[in-house]
Amino acid sequence: MTAQILDGRAVSVAILDRVRREVDEFAAEHGRVPALATVLVGDDPASRTYVRMKANRCAKAGIDSHRVELDAAITTGELVSRIRELSADPAVDGILLQHPVPDHIDERAAFEAIEPAKDVDGVTRASFAAMAFDEDGFRSATPGGIMALLDAYDIPLPGRHAVVVGRSPILGRPVGMLLLARDATVTYCHSRTAGLAERVAEADIVVAAAGRPRLIRGEWIRPGAVVVDAGYAGNTGDVEYEEAAERAAFITPVPGGVGPMTIATLLAQTVRAARAHQTRRSRGAVPVRGEAMTKARDNYLLDLAASRQGYALNRLCGSLKDEENRRRFLEDEAAYCDAYGLSAEQRKAILERDWTAMLELGGSIFYTFKLAMLDKKSMQYLGGVFTGMSAEEFAAAMRSGGRKFG
């Protein structure tokens, strides 16, 4: 048996042709083209090559590419601030932080500075949650590209056993979630899995995403299986290609398989982001803007909602009249500012403005956590203490999606 090639280059060309038509339509409707900001930290040659490739693809698709180059010595706090500026910039529809970043940078903190509505590379916790819950959102670009490639070749997924070898939060884990959402039975493995050969041999679909060249032996592949190799190191993937191709029914080459699909997915999602951005503008929704706005989203939606410190966001507003909770809330704010290296002036601005920022984001935050049902006493407390509004005025502002605070 000789495997059929899953040709990512050919499929990506078709996707990019569609993206180009969508960009032309968008430009005709709105008088501008979608804009993608690409952030590059340092001068790693491979990263520079990837960024250049993405810029070239943007140009061919008609997407405006903003390249932001930052010194390798930049601190996490400085990088977070720069990304937040892009999140607040109305001229930017999508943001890509080229990874990996230098070792001294907290990459997760940098990712989380990206506004989810602009996370076209699918790297934030919000995007992962959307994939895990099979909800609308941006897919991690490589997993999204893998799913598009499987669909292009009509690979059936329901009931198939998929073994994902790799556990990266932007590749292995999310691709497993996407396969599960399509009714595949998913097994996660990694380089330290005991009996890896046996697990791989059970798979109808193998997704190699461990970043370990030739980790998966060709002889492990079940005859007739589908092999998707997302590894790449010096034109070598995670799978022994020649040997696996003799046993598999379908296989991706390296290069030319998953890589082109990643870029195509990134650009397709940039157009989606631009359309959503334009829709929010036309409806008069309050855009995310400024450090305090983005900080409020990060802290409330991510830190407090998943907090192990004794309260969740959906109880916070009703309990801040309790002085102990209020003290803990302010302590958390101060700790967050310190962790991100913010200056005393920035910290003071955040502490003074965060409640205003939270209320400006009221529609999305309050409805997400069902806080629109706060009792009248809590509404009166919040309205009076933090906004000067009556309970009725505060509730009406929340129902309007927070726009009255803009």
369-392: pLDDT as tens digits: 333 334 444 444 444 444 455 556
Sequence letter at residue 400: S
CATH fold group of domain 141-258 = Rossmann fold (3.40.50)
Q: Is 299 exposed, middle or buried (0-12, 13-18, 19+ CB in 10 A)?
A: buried
The Cα–Cα gap between 285 and 367 comes to 15
Reported residue count of the chain is 406
Residue range(s) in the chain whose domain bears CATH number 3.40.50.720: 141-258
Question: Which position among 7, 121, 204, 229 bears the catalytic label?
Answer: 121
Residue range(s) in the chain whose domain bears CATH number 3.40.50.10860: 11-122+261-282
CA distances from 236 to 156, 170, 240, 241 (A): 27, 20, 9, 9
The whole-number pLDDT of residue 273 equals 95
* Average per-residue pLDDT for the chain: 80
DSSP-derived 3-state class of residue 227? strand
The Cα–Cα gap between 185 and 162 comes to 6
pTM comes to 0.71
For the question of residue 278 being annotated catalytic, the response is no
Full 3-state SS string of 28-56? HHHCCCCEEEEEEECCCHHHHHHHHHHHH
The Cα–Cα gap between 131 and 112 comes to 16
The whole-number pLDDT of residue 31 equals 94
pLDDT at 300 over 70: no
For the question of residue 106 being annotated catalytic, the response is no
Provide the CATH number for the domain formed by 11-122+261-282 in this structure: 3.40.50.10860
221-266: pLDDT as tens digits: 999 999 999 998 878 999 999 999 999 999 999 999 999 999 999 9
Question: Which position among 7, 54, 93, 295 bears the catalytic label?
Answer: 54
Question: Which position among 7, 64, 93, 98 bears the catalytic label?
Answer: 98
pLDDT at 312 over 60: no
pLDDT at 106 over 90: yes
For the question of residue 98 being annotated catalytic, the response is yes
The whole-number pLDDT of residue 344 equals 64
113-168: pLDDT as tens digits: 999 999 999 999 999 999 999 888 999 999 999 999 999 999 999 999 999 999 99
53-81: pLDDT as tens digits: 999 999 999 999 999 999 999 999 999 99
